Amino acid sequence: MPTPPPLPSDGAPAPMPAPQPAPALSAAPSAAPAAPAAPAAGGRPIVELRGVSLVYPTADRPVTALSDVALTIAKGDFVSLIGPSGCGKTTLLRVIADLERPTAGHIAVEGMTPEQARLKRLYGYVFQAPALYPWRTVERNVMLPLEIMGLPAAERRTRAREQLERVGLSGFERKFPWQLSGGMQQRVSIARALALQPDLLLMDEPFGALDEITRDHLNLHLTQLWRATGKTCVFVTHSIAEAVFLSTRIVVMSPRPGRILDVIDCDLPRERTLDIRETPAFAAIAHRVRQGLKEGHSYDD
Amino acid sequence: MSDAYGTSLRTAADWGLVLLAAIALAALALPLGARDGAPVGWFAEPLAPLFLAGVVLAVVGGRTAPSPRKGAWVELAAVALAWLLPMHLMDRGIDLSAGWGLWLFLVAATLLLWRVLGVLAALPGWTRSVLVPGLFGLGLLAGWEVLVRGFGVPAILLPAPSRIAAALAANAPVLWDDFRQTVLTSVVRGYLMGCGAGFAVAILADRVPFLARGLLPLGNLASAIPVVGVAPIMVMWFGFDWPSKAAVIVVMTFFPMLINTLAGLGSAERIQLDLMRCYAAGYGRTLVKLRLPNALPFLFNGLKINSTLALIGAIVAEFFGTPVVGMGFRISTEVARMNLDIVWATIAVAALTGSGFYGGLALLERLTTGWHPSMRGR
Ligand SMILES: Nc1ncnc2c1ncn2[C@@H]1O[C@H](COP(=O)(O)OP(=O)(O)OP(=O)(O)O)[C@@H](O)[C@H]1O
Ligand SMILES: [Mg+2]
């Protein structure tokens, strides 16, 4: 797998990536014209769900978190899951990651059962909370999965440094998680997932705790990373703009029971800058997503 | 801003000083003590006025020092000098029990110490963490010494610290043998066995859930068993020497360690466990990389509780049979022979050992679990 060239990082111990809007950032992509390993959309399916349902057995009455979900994610896709709180986005991600077993339906990851895929460490997972281990420094937190994989120490260190730089946290290696702000902790957890260099990235609201500027910045990083490496991403978000900016396809979900309302193709060019958010095409897709979300809500009333 | 605060503090402190001076002046009018039934005044003793002058000079020096911090050090010298006066008078054979002037003077000195400790406790670093508790303890010892000797409390009820120290020095070889027998042999072995077994069984019970379910109620039962009941049985089973003491300690320490370890192992959060699952980490890896580090605060809790329990267990167990050495044996025989000095010396050794043991563990805890919220920023 080709390692991506280091992306523009805002450099050393600034607590937040320096908010440098349009000019500097929009210059970066044009320097790397053709995206190398990005396959055409509609490649080989990497995640397939058919008729997947999941019922949590709780004390009073069972909760149907997913009901008859069907979804196919192709290699190189960037799929966003969007929907109101409690509609089963996290649950869907956990089913793909084999952290939850569906009560009905079929699911395959890279043609295997989710358990086999998990045991082969085929995916990286960014949780909704940072989930850092407080007794480990930032760097050793990022090295944790590599330790478990049994990589040699030198390789662990270079990979951790590389990923921390990518999320703009070089200079914080020796800090402990509780010495960092919430947003910085979440960036560490992203670096930790990236350090595994997985082909499939599952991200549960990774930027939910960040401010608008940092969020834009990391969105840009993420879309460049995705384009440069051809990773497949499944991304949970509450932000329509974020979903449209990042995705090739947007899955709109609705609650009670959690199901898929609509899958919207997001056929903007693969190469994206923040300016794209001002275009009419972007606005049109965002409008469709908003309509879809409204439909889900009217069901509630 | 800090200036205003400092000024108001010093102004308030001045009123305290006026109170102190008033008490000291009242003390001057009353006798220091009595010799052969006749009261002795402040100026009947050749050195007493010198002590008084020294104290006054030191207090004045403290008030005029360039900073409250330097002033506190000088005032500390005044306190020390004031507390040396009764020692000197007792050496001169003066009966202090009727010396109300002296006692009042010492009350003023204690209030001054209070003020000094208040200033020192606000300073960061070792002054606050070591010096203040040390001075506090020293003050208590001085008060104990002067009160016991001044009022002539019989040594059989409560000997003065100096007498206990003398007994310690005079019986050092015997006490060292006792220490070796009780602490270095029985306690250390019993503690290691009890804590080790509790830890090992907890790991096992964590894998085999019915073990935990069966053992935990037993733990409640075991914690209610009195040592005095177990000790004679263990002496019958294992004989007079250290194994019976170690057995008592194992009985006392096993369950606290087991329960704490189990609680610690169960304290990992779901999301942290999910992370390990994502990495396809097995039981062993999850244990070593996540659950044990996470359990450390709980483990230390068990170890600290057990350090006290082990010492008590060994000493009490020795009451029920031992070779003619050991701290418990020493206490029981010397009480019978009314040699209370040695009993108190043994108690002092036990207290020092216990706090040293506990303190060592607390220090180790701080070094290894500095990440834990309860330890941060200390
Ligand atoms: N472990 C669980 N046990 C019982 N019910 C659960 C559990 N986890 C989730 N649920 C329920 O399943 C439903 C879907 O939860 P899920 O966490 O997937 O929502 P979400 O879409 O991720 O919401 P949010 O946007 O707030 O994160 C909710 O109604 C929730 O109450
Ligand atoms: Mg969620």
Q: Evaluate whether residue B207 is within a structural domain.
A: yes
B290 CB near a chain A CB, below 8 Å? yes
**Cβ within 8 Å, pair B278-A99:** yes
Q: Evaluate whether residue A135 is within a structural domain.
A: no
pLDDT at B198: 93
Asked if B116 and B248 sit in the same domain, the reply is no
Asked if B78 and B33 sit in the same domain, the reply is yes
Q: Name the residue at shortest CA distance from atom 14 of ligand 1.
A: A88
Q: Are A233 and A226 in contact (CB under 8 A)?
A: yes
Q: Is the pLDDT of residue A116 over 70?
A: yes
pLDDT digits (tens, 9 = 90+) for A41-97: 457 888 888 888 888 888 888 888 888 888 899 888 999 999 888 888 899 999 999
**Cβ within 8 Å, pair A125-B278:** yes
Share of chain B above pLDDT 90, in %: 40
φ, ψ (nearest 5 deg) of residue A48: -130, 125
**Cβ within 8 Å, pair B279-A134:** no
Cβ-based contacts of A149 with chain B (< 8 Å)? 279
Angle CA B105–B115–B152, to nearest 5: 35
- DSSP letter for each residue of A154-190: HHHHHHHHHHHHHTT-TT-TTS-GGGS-HHHHHHHHH
Pairwise CA distance, residues B172 & B150, whole Å? 28
Q: Are A161 and A195 in contact (CB under 8 A)?
A: no
Q: Name the residue at shortest CA distance from atom 6 of ligand 1.
A: A56
Residue A62, ligand 1, Cβ within 6 A: no
For residue B323, what are its two tokens? Answer: 């070779």
A127 CB near a chain B CB, below 8 Å? yes
Q: State the best of A56, A115, A119, A144 to mutate against chain B, taking most chain B CBs within 10 Å.
A: A144
Q: Is the pLDDT of residue A193 over 70?
A: yes
CA dihedral A11, A17, A19, A20 (to 10 degrees): 30
| DSSP classification of residue A86 | T
**Domain membership of residue B318 as a residue range:** 167-375
Report how far ligand 2's centroid is from the alpha carbon of A263 (Å): 19
Strands A45-56 and A200-204: unpaired
Pairwise CA distance, residues B158 & B140, whole Å? 15
Report how far ligand 1's centroid is from the alpha carbon of A77 (Å): 25
- DSSP letter for each residue of A230-288: --EEEEEES-HHHHHHH-SEEEEEETTTTEEEEEEE--S-SS--GGGGGSHHHHHHHHH
pLDDT at A19: 39
Cβ-based contacts of B269 with chain A (< 8 Å)? 131
pLDDT at B10: 53
Q: Are B48 and B96 in contact (CB under 8 A)?
A: no
Q: Is the pLDDT of residue B118 over 50?
A: yes
Mean pLDDT for the stretch of residues B124-135: 83
Q: Is the pLDDT of residue A17 over 80?
A: no
pLDDT at B377: 56
Asked if B255 and B369 sit in the same domain, the reply is yes
Residue A88, ligand 1, Cβ within 6 A: yes
Domain containing residue B326: CATH number: 1.10.3720.10
pLDDT at B282: 87
A176 CB near a chain B CB, below 8 Å? yes
Locate the chain A residue with the closest alpha carbon to B291.
A133
H runs (alpha helix) in chain B: 2-29, 48-64, 68-91, 100-121, 126, 132-150, 161-170, 172-179, 188-207, 209-224, 227-238, 242-265, 270-278, 283-286, 292-318, 327-336, 340-368
Residue A259, ligand 1, Cβ within 6 A: no
Asked if B201 and B93 sit in the same domain, the reply is no
Q: Are A192 and A127 in contact (CB under 8 A)?
A: no
Q: Is the pLDDT of residue A167 over 90?
A: no
Residues forming a β-bridge with A253? A260
Cβ-based contacts of B290 with chain A (< 8 Å)? 133
Asked if B143 and B225 sit in the same domain, the reply is no
Q: Evaluate whether residue A106 is within a structural domain.
A: yes
Q: Which of A3-12, A265-274, B265-274, B368-377 has the highest mean pLDDT?
A: B265-274
Q: Name the residue at shortest CA distance from atom 12 of ligand 1.
A: A65
Q: Which amino acid is at B138?
A: L
pLDDT at A296: 67
Q: Evaluate whether residue A193 is within a structural domain.
A: no
Q: Which residue among A52, A64, A85, A87 is best mutated to probe the pocket of ligand 1, counting the most ligand atoms within 8 A of its Cβ? A: A87
Q: Is the pLDDT of residue B119 over 60?
A: yes
For residue B319, what are its two tokens? Answer: 């009451």
Q: Is the pLDDT of residue A9 over 50?
A: no
Report how far ligand 2's centroid is from the alpha carbon of B285 (Å): 27
Give chain B's mean pLDDT: 87
At A7, the pLDDT band (50, 70, 90 cuts) reads very low
For residue A88, what are its two tokens? Answer: 């089963």
Asked if B132 and B270 sit in the same domain, the reply is no
Cβ-based contacts of A203 with chain B (< 8 Å)? none
Q: Is the pLDDT of residue B4 over 50?
A: no
**Domain membership of residue A258 as a residue range:** 45-122+198-295
Asked if B236 and B99 sit in the same domain, the reply is no
Count A/B contacts: CB-CB distance under 8 Å. 55
Q: How many CB atoms lie within 10 A of CB A292?
A: 21
At B292, the pLDDT band (50, 70, 90 cuts) reads very high
Locate the chain A residue with the closest alpha carbon to B288.
A148
Mean pLDDT for the stretch of residues B105-114: 90
Cβ-based contacts of B275 with chain A (< 8 Å)? 125, 127, 131
Q: Evaluate whether residue A129 is within a structural domain.
A: no
- DSSP letter for each residue of B134-187: HHHHHHHHHHHHHHHHHTT--TTT---HHHHHHHHHHTHHHHHHHHIIIIIIII
Q: Are B315 and B296 in contact (CB under 8 A)?
A: no
Q: Evaluate whether residue B172 is within a structural domain.
A: yes
Q: Evaluate whether residue B346 is within a structural domain.
A: yes
At A30, the pLDDT band (50, 70, 90 cuts) reads very low
pLDDT digits (tens, 9 = 90+) for B140-152: 999 999 999 988 8
Q: Which amino acid is at B375?
A: M
* Residue A257: cis peptide before it, omega within 30 degrees of 0: yes
pLDDT at A18: 40
B273 CB near a chain A CB, below 8 Å? no
Q: Is the pLDDT of residue A3 over 50?
A: no
Pairwise CA distance, residues B20 & B62, whole Å? 14
Asked if B142 and B261 sit in the same domain, the reply is no
pLDDT at A42: 53
Q: Is the pLDDT of residue A121 over 70?
A: yes
At A285, the pLDDT band (50, 70, 90 cuts) reads confident
Q: Is the pLDDT of residue A20 over 70?
A: no
Q: How many domains does chain A have?
A: 1
Share of chain B above pLDDT 70, in %: 96
Q: Evaluate whether residue B43 is within a structural domain.
A: yes
Asked if B104 and B138 sit in the same domain, the reply is yes
B292 CB near a chain A CB, below 8 Å? no
The structure's pTM equals 0.79
Q: Is the pLDDT of residue B138 over 80?
A: yes
At A298, the pLDDT band (50, 70, 90 cuts) reads low
Question: Could you tell me the CA-to-CA distances from A160 to A40, A180, A198 in Å, in that order?
Answer: 30, 17, 14
Residue A30, ligand 1, Cβ within 6 A: no
Task: Looking at the CA of residue A256, tell me the nearest atom of ligand 1.
Answer: 29
Domain containing residue A282: CATH number: 3.40.50.300
pLDDT digits (tens, 9 = 90+) for A250-266: 998 888 788 888 888 88
Q: Considering every ligand atom, which ligand is closest to the CA of A67?
A: 1
Q: Evaluate whether residue A164 is within a structural domain.
A: no
Q: Considering every ligand atom, which ligand is closest to the CA of A257?
A: 1
Q: Name the residue at shortest CA distance from atom 30 of ligand 1.
A: A86
At B177, the pLDDT band (50, 70, 90 cuts) reads very high
Cβ-based contacts of B293 with chain A (< 8 Å)? 133, 135
**Cβ within 8 Å, pair A120-B279:** no
Q: Is the pLDDT of residue B186 over 60?
A: yes
- Of B7, B291, B376, the closest CA to residue A178 belongs to B376
Asked if B198 and B144 sit in the same domain, the reply is no
Cβ-based contacts of A144 with chain B (< 8 Å)? 279, 289
Mean pLDDT for the stretch of residues B37-61: 85
At B45, the pLDDT band (50, 70, 90 cuts) reads confident
